[in-house]
Amino acid sequence: MAIYEPIEDKNGRRAYRLRSPVSLEPIGELECATSEEVQTAVDRARAAQVAWAATSFEERAAVMYRMTDLLIEQQDRIVDTVIRETGKPRAEAVSMEVYSSCDSLVFYAKRAKKFLRREKRRIHGVLGLLKKAYVVYKPRGVVAVITPWNGPFVLALNPTVQALMAGNAVIIKPSEVTPYSGALVADFFREAGLPDGLVQVVMGDGRTGADLVAAGPDKVSFTGSVATGRKIAVACGEQLIPYTLELGGKDAMVVCRDADIDGAAKGALMGSCMNTGQYCCGTERIYVVEDVYDEFLAKVVAGAKALRQSDDVDATDVGATFWDRQMAIIEDHVDEAIRSGARVEVGGGRNPELDGLYFQPTVLTEVTHDMKVMRDETFGPVVAIMKVSDEDEAIRLANDSPYGLNGNVWTKDAARGIELACRIETGAASVNDMALSYGVNEVPFGGVKDSGVGMVNGPEGLRGYCHAMPIIVHRFGSGPASSYPYTPKTAEDMSKAMKFFWGSSLMRRWFG
Ligand code: NAD
């Protein structure tokens, strides 16, 4: 049964019926915004942004702190909405959606002023004697935030907080699979006292998202699949709109011969099964050096067997798969792997005891890179483990992928862990931990290869919601570097100057 399915148009709009992945019971209907409504929202945002851009960082931060208080006081409102749409365990709804949101709000409220303050840059060489340079971070205007269903509240909130702190207005287009969790972000901002029009939500499907990009925002912050990311890149390219694309991954985990095997086994289970495996930085492929393979596998199998799965969100470790489309992908990958010779150590299929969308925590071995489960994004609670002869083979296999989002290395030698992590072709990595990179606000995050374009989060991400505008000031009165009329001597003088400034190693040191 489909989690969301089209129903007859309502009020001239496309409409869908939504169901709970836990019970498959209907939980509501989604009416898509029309393209005119989307355009009106963008125009309204553009008008509201002018006054917001003139506010101080302290005024913006005050809204973020009020919002944080509301999130803490009313966390059940968020958790209940997220659980209704996704069937996540309550612990994951609180940690991933509410805790991370509060962390993001306070982090950027506290630091945006420092990250975005006007910078003075020293100009090198002789020009520096005559000119001063500043870089001013100016808000871009209206940011379109288009989000997926796997972290439906936090993935709408986090870019929105950054865009707002940088002085922009935001239009959120939440996933059609989890629309009400995304819409809640705007409700909370309104209640926190954010002026009208600065955060709006357009509800709808992929066409609504395309309408939003076509409506001409000043930046698109997209999180979602590679296929949609490519379409957005084309649409933005046609209009020359800047964008960031946070896309899918196939993250590798490398277990070295000197790893803490207990910790690595726990990391493998958490990395593969957290959020029911529907986590962009989830661990999808595990390469274990043969010396420690048996010990590692025994611990992972024991741990996987101990994981609870039930439709009681307060008594389960691995929750529902949020969407039947994802369930079909997980089943396809696991079934194909089994048909091609993979060995099922634990699980291997849907949970027969539950009516909803539940795939059992699964451990597969004897997997190869010919199988989809090692090549394409599975996004399910599947721990796929391969034995390798040494760390070099592990890195070679880790890099045999079109994706490059995140990865992790497990070794007691942290310096070697960093060195191995650097050799993985990936946007981010961790040593002796999993899936952390998106949640550490100090650092930028973004994929390489098919996993994305641009960086989000951290000072770099925050600055991405701005145009870095250089302003060059002449120090003494006014004066261009050369003036009319040009004579043969003008070019001759320039040639002599080049030779003088950069023609010897001594002068290069001074003027370079
Ligand atoms: P999706 O691409 O199907 O949809 C994402 C959003 O794009 C939805 O809101 C959808 O309505 C909208 N959309 C669809 N077509 C569009 C179009 N033509 N123009 C504009 N918008 C359009 O992705 P999904 O299935 O919702 O999300 C799962 C994917 O997201 C996974 O691949 C996962 O790895 C990835 N993801 C990445 C990150 C990251 O930070 N890199 C984080 C979370 C999820």
Task: Give the pairing type, strands 343-346 and 362-365.
Answer: antiparallel
Average pLDDT on 452-467 reads 98
pLDDT (0 to 100) of residue 9? 84
Ligand 1: nearest atom to the Cα of 246: 41
pLDDT more than 90, % of the chain: 94
- Is the predicted pLDDT of residue 241 greater than 80, yes or no? yes
Q: For residue 72, give its domain range.
A: 29-247+458-467
Residues within a 6 A CB radius of ligand 1: 146-151, 155, 173, 175-176, 205-206, 209-210, 213, 223-225, 228, 231-232, 246-249, 280, 377, 405, 438, 447, 452
- Is the predicted pLDDT of residue 436 greater than 90, yes or no? no
pLDDT (0 to 100) of residue 481? 60
Nearest CA to ligand 1 atom 23: 224
**Ligand 1 centroid vs 206 CA: distance in angstroms?**
9
Q: Quote the CA–CA distance of 277 and 274 in Å, as a whole number.
A: 5
How many CB atoms neighbour CB 474 within 10 A? 12
* 392 within a domain of the structure (yes/no): yes
Q: Are 372 and 226 found together in one domain?
A: no
- Mean pLDDT across the chain, nearest whole number? 97
Give pLDDT tens digits for 123-135.
Answer: 998 899 999 999 9
Give pLDDT tens digits for 186-212.
Answer: 999 999 999 999 999 999 999 999 999
* 9 within a domain of the structure (yes/no): no
Q: Are 63 and 167 found together in one domain?
A: yes
* 364 within a domain of the structure (yes/no): yes
Task: Give the range among 283-287, 361-365, 498-502 with minimum mean pLDDT.
Answer: 498-502
Listed as own residue / partner, the contacts of 184-191 with beta carbons closer than 8 Å and 24 or more positions apart are 184/77, 184/78, 184/81, 184/153, 185/153, 185/156, 185/157, 185/160, 188/67, 188/70, 188/71, 188/74, 189/63, 189/67, 189/160, 189/164, 191/70
Task: Give the pairing type, strands 448-449 and 343-346.
Answer: unpaired
Known catalytic residues are 246, 280
Peptide bond into 485 cis (omega under 30): yes
Give pLDDT tens digits for 39-70.
Answer: 999 999 999 999 999 999 999 999 999 999 99
Tokens describing residue 257: 């011969």
Q: Are 311 and 169 found together in one domain?
A: no
Q: Are 284 and 310 found together in one domain?
A: yes
Tell me, what CATH number does 90's domain have?
3.40.605.10
pLDDT (0 to 100) of residue 145? 99
Average pLDDT on 499-512 reads 92
Q: What is the largest CA-CA distance in the chain?
A: 89
pLDDT (0 to 100) of residue 284? 98
- Is the predicted pLDDT of residue 290 greater than 90, yes or no? yes
pLDDT (0 to 100) of residue 53? 98
Q: Are 144 and 178 found together in one domain?
A: yes
Q: Quote the CA–CA distance of 22 and 38 in Å, as a whole number.
A: 32
Better pLDDT: 52 or 434: 52
Q: How far apart are the first and last CA of the chain?
A: 67
Q: Which of 169, 391, 173, 439 is nearest to 280 (CA)?
A: 439
**Ligand 1 centroid vs 147 CA: distance in angstroms?**
6
Average pLDDT on 342-368 reads 98
Q: Are 213 and 326 found together in one domain?
A: no
- Is the predicted pLDDT of residue 482 greater than 70, yes or no? no
- Is the predicted pLDDT of residue 444 greater than 70, yes or no? yes
pTM of the model: 0.97
Number of domains in the chain: 3
Q: Are 326 and 357 found together in one domain?
A: yes
Tell me, what CATH number does 267's domain have?
3.40.309.10
Give start and end residues of each alpha helix (H) in 152-260.
Answer: 154-165, 179-191, 206-214, 226-239
Q: Are 396 and 349 found together in one domain?
A: yes
Tokens describing residue 378: 């599975």
Q: Are 217 and 290 found together in one domain?
A: no
Q: Quote the CA–CA distance of 494 and 217 in Å, as a whole number.
A: 44
pLDDT (0 to 100) of residue 511? 82
